[in-house]
Amino acid sequence: MKQCSKLFSEVFDSHCGGIVRTCSCGIITFNCIDRGFYDEGELDALLKKQKVNPELYRAVDYTVTTMTFSGIEIVNGCSCDTARKAEEFIRINARLLAVYLRGYADELRKQAANIDV
C-alpha cells in the first residue's frame, strides 16, 4: 500500500494526536506501548478486540496522529488509502483547481472592493 506524501500530511495535518483515533473509514488505531495513558483495562480491551478483528483495530508503537481533508479525519498511516486517493485527486486536477482558485480569488477581491470600511 502506497501512502500519501509527507507534504500532503504536513499541509493537512490536524495537529491532533493521542493514544486512540478512529479514521473516517472506521479503522481504530491505538498506541499499544504507553499503558500509563489508558484507564484500567482499556488497553487490554483494545488488544483483545484487535485479536478478534484485526482489520478494524490497528496497534502502533507511537502517538496516533491525524490529518483533516474535506471535513473528514484521516489517521496517518491508515490502511484505508483515503489520504493517498485525496492527494492523487489534487495532483490529477491541479490545473483545474488552479483555474478555479484564481476565479474564486477574483470573486473575493470584487466582494472586498464593494465593502465600505
User: How many CB atoms lie under 10 A from the CB of residue 63?
Assistant: 14
User: How many CB atoms lie under 10 A from the CB of residue 101?
Assistant: 10
Quick one: CA torsion of 59, 88, 17, 73, rounded to 10 degrees?
A: -90
The pTM score is 0.82
Is residue 53 within 8 A of residue 5, CB to CB? The reply is no
Question: What pLDDT, in 10s, does the model give residues 28-86?
Answer: 999 999 888 999 999 999 999 999 999 999 999 999 999 999 999 999 999 999 999 99
The DSSP element (H or E) to which 16 belongs, if any, is strand 13-18
Is residue 20 within 8 A of residue 39, CB to CB? The reply is no
